[in-house]
Amino acid sequence: VRVKTVEALTVAVIKFSGYATPDVVFGKRDECKGLLARDGVAYDAKEADTQLMMAQYNELFSLPWNRDNEVWLPIVKWPE
């Protein structure tokens, strides 16, 4: 086992169910970007477009309506 300390990461998260196909994942990323822009939250646009972060929490063969997925976007700065 290796343990590594990494820099803290603050992310905005948008959840969705079903299969994480590219169209769905990129659509959710764009939806999250729009919500952040609307609320004046600065996010790392380059990171969001080049290194998408996603989390999936269920077994591979879970039924679509039972699948829990998230797209994460790194936050640079919250509005004051």
Q: Please give the share of the chain, as a percent, with pLDDT higher than 90.
A: 49
Do 9 and 73 meet the contact criterion of CB atoms below 8 Å apart? Answer: no
According to the model, what pLDDT value does residue 59 have? 83
pLDDT of 60 higher than 90: no
CA pseudo-torsion sign 68, 73, 75, 80: negative
What is the CA angle 17-69-72, rounded to 5?
130
The mean pLDDT of 27-47, rounded to a whole number, is 90
pLDDT reading at 47 higher than 80: no
